[in-house]
Structures are given as C-alpha cells and as structure tokens.
C-alpha cells in the first residue's frame, strides 16, 4: 500500500522550550508541512508514503529531502529546483499565552512550481491513496491547477482522495478558498476539517458552537458533515474536536460521518497536557487514512485516528513518531502512562 501526498515541506524554526522569538539565541532546525506531516506519520505507522513537492537543489533543500528519507518517506517524486525552501516560525505557547506561527513561505520552490514539473500518471503508478490539504492550492493559482490535475488523474486511476480543508487566512481569502476548494471537493472521498474550516471555506457552520469558548455541539457537527457530504458527494467527513482549556491543556476528540449509512461516530475524549500541538490535525488525517487502508470500521477508525493524534501532542516537532502498536495500546486503554520497560 502506498499513499501519495502533495504539498509543501517547509523549514520549521522554533526557539527551544518556551522561549519567545525575541529572546532566543538559537533556533531548532526542523521541518514540517501539512502533507509532509501526513506522509511521515503514515511511514511511522508502517504504510509506504511519498511526498510530491519541489525543493531547491542546494544543501538546505537537500536537508529537507534528508529529513523525509530519515523517517521513511519516499522522495523520488520530489522535483529539485527553484530558489527557496519555505519557512515557518513556531513559538510554543503555555497556559494563557497562545502559540504563535509566523510564515515566510512566499516564493518557495513549490509555490513557483509549474504544471510540467509533475507527471501525475507516473506518480500515481502503484499508489493506493492520494492526500492533499487546502494549503496546497492556496499557494498560488499555478499550484491550484496542478492540484486539480492531480485530483482528476487520481479519479481516473480509481485512487481514493482525502483532503484536509486546513484553511489559512494568510494564504487566501474565504471567498477565494471557497471557490477553488469548491472545484476540488468533487474529487474528494474523505474530507477532514477542524472546527472552523467548514465555516471559513464554505460558510457551513455548526449551530450553537462557540469555538473560542470551546463549546462543542455534537448535533451541530453532524449537520455540518451532512451538508459537506451532500454538497460535494464526499463518502466520509471527519472532524477533530479540540477543546482548548489553555495553551498547555486541551481536550481532544474526533468525529467521523459516513454518508452512505448516514452514521456518525464520536471518539473517546483525551485530556492532553501538550508538548507540541502543531501537526495534531495532520496526524489525525494520517490515522484515518491508515484506518481506511486497513479496512477498519467506523468506530475503530475514529478511535485510531484520535489516539494517534493525541500521542502527537506529546511529541516535539510537527511529525508524529508513533507506531501502530503504540496507537493501538492507547486505544485499548493504556492512557495512564505507566512506564514501559
């Protein structure tokens, strides 16, 4: 089984520990990006994955390629060229101080990529799944077009497609996001979103839900999922349900809706003391893809995805370094954190 992910791999610079940007003498030199995070997560779970992107040929670009190789992601679909590796800066929050992300990703190699850089029928040869997020088409009209071509090719080759809406207000407006994503969604089998994406991108919202207050209304979510599935024909719609107590502590759960059976399942809720929450949603997506590829039922799927992503919150960096065994152990009730010798 092999999953193709398409998106940007950026350098992630973050000060060590809880230092703020203005006080740090050093930055950790990590990498991340929504689709790359999914690819690494899947490789860790034991599923072959390949990232499709573009990276400069210089040593900084090579370091980006190397991080993927290190964690088992195939890199033969990475085009080398262009000038910049995109960058984002992460400052870890605590208690009442939120985490902060500053992007410096414009003009990156993938954002300047051209259609001819990617031959999708060759890329999809032997693939079993295609994943992208709303960030990829937001990188530019050129990338949106490449993304559409990828979706069409996947559909032709009968490869299931998943998409995490991942709305980023710095990259595009709600209006443009709605228009472009509206053109891509018909190709999407599994739609993943968090509590505000559906609203921001498609104006579909859960009634009586106040995100900032962390009030989560189950019925409202079901309604949103149904609307998405209906409007775009998605087979399944999944939500992460984050209850933000503070930047240090979150409740974390998920929901999965199946349009064919009109059935909805909710997962166990974890109270998480956070180590690093960036990439939490991506590890949830990877968990769903893993579950789908392994034929899990609805409830098992959402439990696996939520447990995987709960563990992500305890790991430094964007990537979710967990094995399927570790996720299954948590699903089976090992959340008390007893030491393993």
| Residues between 108 and 167 that touch a second copy (CB under 8 A) | none
Q: Report the residue from 79, 226, 316, 328 that binds a second copy according to the rule CB under 8 A.
A: 316
236 close to 189: Cβ distance less than 8 angstroms: yes
CA distance 37 to 7: 10
Instruction: Note the maximum CA span of the chain.
Output: 55
Element (H, E) at 82: none
Question: Contact 129/293 with Cβ under 8 angstroms?
Answer: yes
* Residue 110 vs 274, nearer CB to a second copy: 274
The verdict on 170 binding a second copy (CB under 8 A) reads: yes
Closest among 331, 333, 273 to 95, alpha carbons compared: 273
In the bound state with a second copy, the residue whose beta carbon lies nearer, of 107 and 119, is 107
Number of residues that bind a second copy (CB under 8 A): 90
**Which residue of 2, 48, 97, 205 would you call a contact of a second copy, by CB under 8 A?**
97
As a whole number of angstroms, the distance between CA 49 and CA 82 comes to 24
Candidates 1, 79, 148, 245: give the one binding a second copy (CB under 8 A). Answer: 245
58 binds a second copy (CB under 8 A): yes
Which position among 142, 223, 259, 314 is part of the footprint of a second copy (CB under 8 A)?
A: 314
Judged by phi (left if over 0) then psi (alpha if -120 to 50, else beta), residue 203 lies in left
Contact range with a second copy by CB under 8 A, out of 87-95, 125-133, 150-158, 296-304: 87-95
Establish if 213 lies at the interface with a second copy (CB under 8 A). yes
Beta carbon nearer to a second copy, 2 or 106: 106
Of 1, 27, 79, 265, the one binding a second copy by CB under 8 A: 27
Among 125, 186, 246, 262, binds a second copy (CB under 8 A): 246
Q: Does 313 bind a second copy (CB under 8 A)?
A: yes
Which of these segments, 97-105, 175-183, 222-230, 296-304, binds a second copy (CB under 8 A)?
A: 97-105
d(CA 317, CA 109): 23
Q: Determine if 46 is a binding residue for a second copy (CB under 8 A).
A: no
Partners of 54 in the β-ladder: 79
What is the C-alpha to C-alpha distance for residues 234 and 277, in angstroms, rounded to an integer? 28
CA–CA separation, 19 and 14 (whole Å): 9
Asked if 269 is part of the footprint of a second copy (rule: CB under 8 A), the reply reads no
Distance CA 132, CA 202 (A): 18
CB nearer a second copy, residue 1 or residue 148: 1
DSSP character string of 265-312: EE---EEEE-S--TTHHHHHHHHHHHHHHTT--HHHHHHHHHHHHHHH
Q: Least Å distance between CB 23 and a second copy?
A: 6
């Amino acid at each position: 089984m092999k999953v193709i992910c398409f998106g940007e791999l950026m350098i992630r610079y973050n000060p060590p520990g809880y230092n703020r940007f203005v006080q740090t003498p050093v930055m950790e030199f990590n990498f991340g990006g929504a689709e790359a995070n999914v690819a690494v997560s899947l490789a860790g779970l034991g599923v072959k994955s390949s990232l499709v992107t573009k990276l400069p040929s210089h040593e900084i670009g090579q370091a980006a390629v190397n991080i993927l190789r290190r964690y088992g992601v195939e890199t033969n679909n990475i085009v080398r060229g262009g000038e910049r590796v995109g960058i984002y800066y992460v400052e870890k929050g605590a208690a009442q101080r939120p985490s902060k992300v500053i992007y410096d990703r414009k003009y990156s190699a993938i954002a300047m990529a051209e259609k001819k850089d990617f031959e999708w029928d060759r890329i999809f040869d032997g693939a079993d799944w295609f994943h992208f997020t709303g960030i990829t088409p937001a990188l530019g009209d050129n990338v949106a077009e490449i993304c559409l071509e990828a979706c069409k090719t996947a559909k032709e080759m009968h490869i299931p497609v998943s998409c995490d809406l991942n709305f980023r207000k710095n990259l595009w407006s709600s209006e443009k996001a709605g228009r472009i994503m509206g053109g891509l969604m018909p190709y999407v089998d599994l739609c993943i979103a968090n509590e505000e994406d559906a609203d921001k991108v498609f104006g579909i919202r859960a009634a009586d839900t106040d995100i900032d207050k962390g009030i989560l209304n189950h019925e409202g979510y079901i309604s949103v999922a149904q609307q998405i599935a209906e409007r775009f024909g998605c087979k399944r719609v999944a939500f992460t349900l984050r209850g933000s107590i503070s930047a240090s502590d979150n409740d974390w759960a998920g929901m999965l809706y199946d349009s064919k059976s009109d059935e909805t399942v909710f997962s166990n809720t974890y109270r998480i003391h956070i180590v690093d929450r960036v990439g939490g949603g991506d590890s949830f997506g990877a968990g769903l893809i893993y579950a789908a590829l392994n034929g899990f039922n609805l409830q098992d799927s959402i439990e696996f995805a939520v447990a995987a992503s709960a563990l992500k919150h305890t790991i430094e960096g964007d990537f979710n370094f967990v094995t399927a065994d570790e996720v299954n152990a948590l699903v089976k009730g090992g959340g008390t954190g007893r030491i393993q010798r």
